[in-house]
Structure 1
Amino acid sequence: MTFDAAFFAAMVPAVILMGLSKGGFAGLGLLSLPLMALVVSPVTAAAIMLPLLIAQDVVTVWSYRREFDLRNLATLAPGAFIGVLAGYLLAAQVSDAAVGLAVGAISIGFALRRMLGDGRREPVVTRARWGAGSLWGFVCGFTSMIAHAGGPPFQIYVMPQRLPPAVFVGTGAIFFAAMNLVKVVPYLALGQFSAANLLASAALLPVAVAATFAGVWLVRRVPAERFYVYIYWLLLLVGLKLVFDGLQGLHPFA
């Protein structure tokens, strides 16, 4: 791995996108790893990103430390930790492409249903439930470990509750911060924290932190209704990208 102009040309935008995602514009982060994979392998990209994610988690958790929904965290956490464990144990048997394709298709369907349906009638506001929370928590943990795609399942579960934007972001910040810390153990077991990877993480750390603060600043200035419109569009676009990547992985183009 060479720290040249091409490396930083791909890595810096990727880290900025992840920082904005961590700051509140969920979904943008899924564009980070494909950008990083232009100059390093996907496995190396994920290893470089995890310490940055943890640093960004510190910023978001501190920024939203009083704005989160405890019931959502309680319903999501048990399934999520089981999902991370299942992803670690089944990583060699499960195709990243198949998981991405499934998550992408679900995300597109959910986003279109909400965007098209909400324009005709008042959206039905749901609440956190143990059954649904356990299911979507497991999907979050599993897809985060296998394909780094835990954001869309979280959005599908929490967005219909129409939480205030800061509470929505704060809940996600705490949830994914805990999950990223859990993922450190399997990453260590897989030997992915090499000296070169950690050096790359350290070089990108200032950009990661600054971008996260920028995301927090923007979220607090976007009206609630507009915020959810943006998030639905991001979920739709991310879903399309996951489907494209999944189809490409299952049937590589010539």
Structure 2
Amino acid sequence: MPELAWYAWALLAVAAVIVGLSKTAIPGAGTVAVAIFAAVLPAKQSTGTLLLLLIVADLFAVAMYRRQTDWKTLARLAPAVVAGVLAGVVFLWFADDLWVKRTIGVILLAVIAITLLRRRFASGVATPGPHRVAAATYGTLGGFTTMVANAAGPVMSMYFLARRFPVKEFLGTAAWFFAIVNLFKVPFSVGLGIITVPGLLLDLVLVPLVVVAAFAGRRLADRMPQHVFERLVIAFTIVGAVYLLLG
């Protein structure tokens, strides 16, 4: 077990709660957990440790929202996501932590700006042509950012928000998306050496907090108005993007 100060454990506990909530109530908030883990643990260990907690939260989210999923959207995203993950693997071999953070921060801010402009001046991604382009663009960026920093939450949140999904369909589609993608990432993460025994031991301590927060998030989602949900998604996405760009 890594030797950490009490305040480091407290921060990791907060991050674990955020992980659970982000999967079942507030997508985009997970980037805050990415920031906390990166601040407390070495970069590679933080990525691998957080990945396993995300998978646990994904499983609970899938169980809760499995009936509210847009499978056509996931099928359209799949090829681009695979390409993005593979690009992320290559990028990790050459880029240092600073370049990774800044690259993802720029991408996220660009995604936010484009999405807000589309929602203001157009009809989202409803027509077939733009939808295919958006799926390819967001899918590639989502695959890339999830591989290099577990930071695809804001990217995909902007895509699902542009699709104008209701709260439960948004959460169900996102749950299946991340469950599949995060499991797909495991062999690459093992090969890159970012999943470690100390990280597994940390996960054993933090998993109960993730589970409790996931159930709390489900109750929160049942009571959350659509407009509040959308504003929270955008707000947490901006916070995560700024952190990754300037942190």
Query: Do the structures match in fold with TM over 0.5?
Result: yes
Deviation at 1:227, TM superposition (A): 1.6
Rounded to whole Å, the distance in 2 between the matches of 1:160 and 1:235 is: 14
**Which residue does the alignment assign to 1:244?**
246
**Which residue does the alignment assign to 1:225?**
227
Letter in structure 2 aligned against 1:14: A
Q: Structure 2: which 5+ residue stretches go unaligned? A: none
**Which residue does the alignment assign to 1:163?**
165
Change (3 A) 1:125 1:110: closer
Match status 1:133 vs 2:135: yes
Deviation at 1:112, TM superposition (A): 5.1
Asked whether the 8 Å contact 1:111–1:233 carries over to 2, the reply is no
Deviation at 1:114, TM superposition (A): 6.5
**Which residue does the alignment assign to 2:106?**
102
Rounded to whole Å, the distance in 1 between the matches of 2:142 and 2:35 is: 19
Deviations 1:51-105 (A, max 9, x none): 1111111100000000011111011111111211111122122430332232232
Letter in structure 2 aligned against 1:70: W
Q: Structure 1: which 5+ residue stretches go unaligned? A: 246-254
Rounded to whole Å, the distance in 2 between the matches of 1:60 and 1:175 is: 11
Asked whether the 8 Å contact 1:15–1:204 carries over to 2, the reply is yes
Deviation at 1:4, TM superposition (A): 4.7
**Which residue does the alignment assign to 1:212?**
214
Bigger Cα displacement from structure 2, 71-80 vs 235-244: 235-244
Bigger Cα displacement from structure 2, 31-40 vs 136-145: 31-40
Rounded to whole Å, the distance in 2 between the matches of 1:83 and 1:188 is: 18
Letter in structure 1 aligned against 2:204: A
Bigger Cα displacement from structure 2, 173-182 vs 35-44: 35-44
Rounded to whole Å, the distance in 2 between the matches of 1:239 and 1:38 is: 16
Rounded to whole Å, the distance in 2 between the matches of 1:149 and 1:39 is: 17
Rounded to whole Å, the distance in 1 between the matches of 2:4 and 2:143 is: 32
TM-score, normalisation: structure 2:
0.88
**Which residue does the alignment assign to 1:142?**
144
**What percentage of aligned pairs have identical amino acids?**
30
Asked whether the 8 Å contact 1:10–1:38 carries over to 2, the reply is no
Deviations 1:128-166 (A, max 9, x none): 733321221111001111132212221222212211110
**Which residue does the alignment assign to 2:55?**
54
Deviation at 1:108, TM superposition (A): 4.1
Rounded to whole Å, the distance in 2 between the matches of 1:135 and 1:114 is: 14
Asked whether the 8 Å contact 2:105–2:243 carries over to 1, the reply is no
Deviations 1:214-254 (A, max 9, x none): 12221121122222122222223333333323xxxxxxxxx
What is the DSSP-based 3-state SS (H/G/I as helix, E as strand, rest coil) of the residue aligned with 1:204?
A: helix
**Which residue does the alignment assign to 1:92?**
93
**Which residue does the alignment assign to 2:180?**
178
Change (3 A) 1:214 1:125: same
